[in-house]
Amino acid sequence: MKTKPLNIFRYLGISMATIQINLKIPEKMYGLARSYSKEKGYRSMQELLLDCLRRRIYTDEAHEFVMLAQAEKMREVWDNDYDDAWEKA
């Protein structure tokens, strides 16, 4: 089953300024990427590469956000337990 990647910018109606880059990759990698893009239903190599970058960038950012939120919650719990311990002493 072919899946289409979600174009989050089109979905949300966001327009972004673009910049063009040139990318050199090994021939073998290009062949594999081209086959993969056709197999998964990407319209172009550019679409595949943008999807890969988005997934990597936004996934890492989301992971960091979750980790920070968990650390903050752990600090709050520790602080509350510490304060409770002093009040009981």
Answer whether residue 3 is part of any domain: no
The yes-or-no verdict on residue 83 having pLDDT over 80 is no
On the 0-12 / 13-18 / 19+ scale of CB atoms within 10 A, 42 is buried
Q: What is residue 21's predicted lDDT score, i.e. its pLDDT?
A: 86
Report the C-alpha gap between 17 and 6 in whole angstroms: 19
Find the domain containing 39 and state its range: 8-88
Answer whether residue 71 is part of any domain: yes
Of residues 35 and 72, which shows the higher confidence score?
35
The pTM of this model reads: 0.49
Answer whether residue 75 is part of any domain: yes
The yes-or-no verdict on residue 69 having pLDDT over 80 is no
Count of domains for the chain = 1
Answer whether residue 60 is part of any domain: yes
Answer whether residue 1 is part of any domain: no
Answer whether residue 29 is part of any domain: yes
Per residue in 16-35, pLDDT (tens digit) is 677 888 889 999 999 999 99
Per residue in 33-61, pLDDT (tens digit) is 999 999 999 999 999 998 888 887 777 66
